[in-house]
Structures are given as C-alpha cells and as structure tokens.
Amino acid sequence: MFSLAAASSSAASRAAAVAVAASPLLPSNHGRAKVSTFSSHQASLCCINTRSCSSGLGPLTVKSMAAEADIVSMPKTESHSPASRKKQALISLSDKRELAVLGRGLHELGYTIVSTGGTATALEAAGLPVTKVEQLTSLPEMLDGRVKTLHPNIHGGILARRDQSHHMEALDKHGIGTFDVVVVNLYPFYEKVTAGGNIEFEDGIENIDIGGPAMIRAAAKNHKDVLVVVDSGDYPALLEFLKGSKEDELFRRKLAWKAFQHCASYDSAVSEWLWRQTGGEKFPPDFTIPLSLKSSLRYGENPHQKAAFYVDKRLDEVNAGGIATAVQHHGKEMSYNNYLDADAAWNCVSEFKSPTCVIVKHTNPCGVASRNDILEAYRLAVKADPVSAFGGIVAFNVEVDESLARGIREFRSPTDGETRMFYEIVVAPKYSKKGLEVLQGKSKTLRILEASKNEREKLSLRQVGGGWLAQDSDDLTPEEIQFNVVSEKQPTESELSDAEFAWLCVKHVKSNAIVIAKNNCMLGMGSGQPNRLESLRIALRKSGEEVKGAALASDAFFPFAWKDAVEEACENGVSVIAEPGGSIRDKDAVDCCDKYGVSLLFTNVRHFKH
C-alpha cells in the first residue's frame, strides 16, 4: 500500500527538520553517495519526481527554513530489515503523459510514490497519495528549483546495493530508505532551443537539467536493484514486469541502456547548443551525432546485408528538411536503396527555381526538365532516358495536382508507346487531395512521399573505415558563380541559359560526369566513368541528333582537348561548353573551341561527386 508521510507539528520536530543532523557523514559506499545527511524516515522507495517546467508551473518559491519546517519535518523511524522495507517509487517528470496510469498501476501494486513539484500536484489531482521529496530530505526545494533531489537521502536510496550488507547497514544507520523504481524524464531543453526564434542564453542555461540526469544515471548504474524508466512508452512493460514473480536481468539492462542513451542524447544537444554560443568554427574539435531509429529495413543495398534507418537529431537538422523527415502517404515500406535514390532525386529537384521534374536511377538523374507546364516537364524528363526511368524515382518541386497525377498514372513509355511507366517512388513538396487519390490508385506498392526542401549550408557527413569526413554541402547555384567566356565566340542568351541548366544538373551526377542539355531539358548524361571521354560518349549517344546546338557541362576540367573529349564534343555539334577550368592544358581547350566556333565558359567551380 501507499503510505503518505505526515509532517510533525511539534516545535522540537520543526527544529530537527531544519538542522543538520549531528551524525557523521554517510559512509562512502565505494563513492556512491558522499553528502552529509539530514534526519528522515526509512523506507524502500519507488521515487517519482515530476519536473515542473513542461506543466506550465514555475519553480517553487523558496520559503524560509522556519516556515518550511511545518511542511518537511519528519521523525526518524526505526530501522527495518530488507524483508520489511516498503516498496517505493521515485517519479520526476517534465513530460507527464500517462502519469496517472503509471501512478494508479504502482499504487495498485502496493508502491509508495515519492515525488516533487508539478508531478506531485498532478498525482494528487488524480486522487493518488504522494510523499513529497522534501519530507525525505528535510529541506525545501531551493535556488529557483535548481536543487530538489540532490541529497543523500535520495541518491543513497537509489545507489545502495542490496547485496552489500555494509551498504544496507549505512542506510539503516541514517534512516534512508531504498528506491525500487525511478521514473524520470528531463527538462525539455531540446524543445526549448528549437522552438523557433533565438532563445536567450540565460533561458537556455536554465533549461539544462541537472538533478534529472543524476537520478537517471544513478538508477541505471544500480539497475540490478532499481528499475529506471525514461520513456512513457515503457510504462505498460514496467507495470507488467512488476506484476510478475520472475526476475529478468535482460529487461533491467535494456531499461538501463535506454536511460544512459537518453542522457547521452540530451547532453549532445546541450553541447551542440553551447558550441554555437562560443562563436566557434563549423567543425568543433569533438562532437556527438545523436541518431534515433526510424525503422528497421528489410535489408541493405543487397539482401544479405542487414540494415536500419536512423533520423539525425542534431539541433542543426531540426526543421531543416530532407528525405529523412518526409511523410509517406502510400505504398510499401521504404528500403535502403529507396532512401538513397529518393534523397538524390529530392536534392536535385529542390535546386531548380522553375517547375521541374527529375527522374533518378541508382542515385543519378537520368532525366531532368523545367517547364511552366509541369506535366510537359514530366514527359520530357521521361523522354531523356525512358529505359532508365522505368523503375526509377520521380521528383517534383511543385504540388502534384489531379492533372499531373493522372499524367504520371497513365503515361506510356516513349520506347513503345504501350508500356505504362512504373516507378518506385514519387516525391513532391505537397499533393492536392484529388492528386493524392489518383496517384494512390496507380499501384499498391508506389511509395508517395511529401518532403520539405533541404536547408542550405548543412554539414555533410560521410563514413570511411574508422572515421568520418565532414564538409559543407555543395549549395552553389548558377546565380552565385560567374560563367566567364574564354573563347572567341560569345554564347547567345539561350545558350548561356542552357549551360547554366546543364551545370546545375551535372553537380548531381556521379563523377566523372557529363551532361548535355537544350531548352531547359537534359538530353543525355554520362556518369561514373573512370575517364571523362567515356562519360562524354555515353552522353552523346543518349542525346542523339538533338546534341547539335546543345550545351555541355562537365563536373571537372578536361585534362586533354585535341583528339579527346573537347574536340569530340565540338565535332558532334555542341554549341557551348561549361567547365571549371584549371588544367595546365586549358589553352588547348580554348584553341579547340575557337577552331570549331564553340563558346567555352570557365566557372572556376568543380563539382566532383563520389
């Protein structure tokens, strides 16, 4: 049963409640609790400490010691043997979801609940008896709520090992009870600093939890004797476990792991935020990447590889867009390769300002087109390489309405005019109600994603064996660079526009990369070849006769020109070439273009993509 401790009304008890006990310091218990103690009752405690900040309740006002004595004074009780200790739980919650359910479940199982502040108030409002923490510590909450549970009467009861007789003797000597269950979650620091607008530095500091992590870590360390819960989703499992008679060490360990991971993620957010406040460089000397499992995947790149998908919980990624936070409206579960391809398609299409369709296969854009009529853009993107487009990912940077959805659903392959195009994924920033209904009717398996645009200047991370590479994301757009004419022939306005379009496409193609485009439409691309000449030849073959008068963009400079890629492009009718420049043979490229009357533009920006 629950026991609600009552405060003594005698003057002597009040005096004892606010004075430091004359007893010696609590024995160290191997360093587990080394704070001087105050008189308190002895009990085996299940401690619930509810955090006040998320409930809208401010920190409790610190009262004078004399005034507080009426509330917190407690007579010291007789020592009890471990067999006679009452079951008790400590609860301290900022997020109070399902608190009443938890409280009732513990009460029905015979636990005494110990709590503080807003949590205690919420439990009392639910009709549950509560012992307040100050009744154990003989001290009020103080320092604007900074100190509530940092006391040996709390931490001694959490950290004491039940199988160590000298630990239990120390508790008995000082009238400290044990806690069997500790349920704590933390001040909502993450939510506060990501809520929009710049939080004041002092507000951020005050939302850093101290007592909560201390209790969580203490309980997790002593998980053999103390069950620690940090997630309301685990309340049912906790109560079910407490109802049973069998011990389960693995269950305790999993809760302890989750508790330490909870604290680690919390600390990583505090660390990231504080680094921002120092005005430090983009690449700190140390940092932690908190990841949260979104889904277990059927397999990785190949069926023999196990895989999972995690969401990046860094502060920099909050509301920063991207495929990881996309909403799936329809279709089969996403696969490892689906995520990679959808990410590539979405990153590419999001860079275009005009209504654009991008089709991706194996992370390379095989069709790109921009038109005011988005349905026409879609058809042109498919036409660029209908064989590759089949089974690919289709991305749009505008809403998919009913007309576009019907076009996607019914469009036949240009190769034979009969085969209905099949896609793995459609991704767009939004869908009309009717458009979504039409698309859902195309296939039960078609994955329909709604995503938000990636923010610029993200930190790009990539794993190598034993380490990580970090760099700025490649965010440059044609408007931010200069297309310097180095040839005799000046490009026309339409040629320059085509060169800019091809340049924006080629940055998303795997190196060595060549893109040929005309009239804001990709005609052909060559990707991933060890030499640039082979990439050029693939792009020329895909472009066919339309290459004449088209623009060509290369992700890097041409190391050779004569009897190589530059001359071959000129001979096939390309009218303008855009490349970074920077080769020791740049003059050969200029001379070659001048011979064939082709415009050559140096961008001074390379776009390697590995």
Q: What is the mean pLDDT of residues 214-242?
A: 91
pLDDT category at 144 given cuts 50, 70, 90 is low
Rounded Cα gap, residues 11 and 125, in angstroms: 31
Q: What is the mean pLDDT of residues 100-104?
A: 91
Query: How high is the pLDDT of residue 596?
Result: 94
Contact (Cβ atoms closer than 8 angstroms) between residue 423 and residue 455: no
Query: How high is the pLDDT of residue 386?
Result: 93
Residue scoring higher pLDDT (159 or 300)? 300
Q: What is the mean pLDDT of residues 44-65?
A: 37
The pTM score is 0.79
Please identify which residue in the block is written with the tokens 């034993």: 466
pLDDT category at 6 given cuts 50, 70, 90 is very low
With 0-12 / 13-18 / 19 or more C-beta atoms within 10 angstroms meaning exposed / middle / buried, residue 230 is: buried
Kindly report the CA angle at 506 between 501 and 507, in degrees rounded to 5? 105
Contact (Cβ atoms closer than 8 angstroms) between residue 340 and residue 294: no
Structural element, H or E, at residue 96? none
Mean pLDDT of all residues in the chain? 82
Query: How high is the pLDDT of residue 51?
Result: 44
Kindly state the percentage of the chain with pLDDT values over 70.
85
Contact (Cβ atoms closer than 8 angstroms) between residue 154 and residue 133: yes
Neighbouring residues of 202: CB distance < 8 A, sequence distance ≥ 6: none
Query: How high is the pLDDT of residue 168?
Result: 76
Strand-pair partners of 327 = 450
The answer, yes or no, to whether residue 470 has pLDDT greater than 90, is no
Query: How high is the pLDDT of residue 32?
Result: 46
Name the residues annotated as catalytic. 221, 362
The answer, yes or no, to whether residue 3 has pLDDT greater than 90, is no
Q: What is the mean pLDDT of residues 393-408?
A: 96
Structure confidence by residue, pLDDT tens digits, 264-306: 988 888 888 888 888 878 888 888 888 999 999 999 999 999 9
Contact (Cβ atoms closer than 8 angstroms) between residue 441 and residue 408: no
Q: What is the mean pLDDT of residues 420-443?
A: 93
Indicate the range of 136-150, 326-340, 450-464, 569-583 predicted with least confidence.
Answer: 136-150
Contact (Cβ atoms closer than 8 angstroms) between residue 333 and residue 444: no
Which of 33-37, 143-147, 230-234, 244-248 has maximum average pLDDT? Answer: 230-234
Contact (Cβ atoms closer than 8 angstroms) between residue 487 and residue 326: no
Query: How high is the pLDDT of residue 296?
Result: 93
Query: How high is the pLDDT of residue 135?
Result: 74
Contact (Cβ atoms closer than 8 angstroms) between residue 53 and residue 188: yes
- Tell me the backbone φ, ψ of residue 545, rounded to 5 degrees: -70, -20
Query: In the structure encoding, which two tokens stand for residue 489, read together?
Result: 């022939």
Rounded Cα gap, residues 271 and 210, in angstroms: 14
Residue scoring higher pLDDT (241 or 25)? 241
pLDDT category at 145 given cuts 50, 70, 90 is low
Structure confidence by residue, pLDDT tens digits, 168-190: 777 778 888 888 999 998 888 88
Query: How high is the pLDDT of residue 62?
Result: 30
Strand-pair partners of 394 = 359, 426
Query: In the structure encoding, which two tokens stand for residue 401, read together?
Result: 């309405």
Q: What is the mean pLDDT of residues 328-349?
A: 95
Q: At what angle do helices 152-159 and 165-174 cross, to 10 degrees?
A: 160
Query: How high is the pLDDT of residue 575?
Result: 95
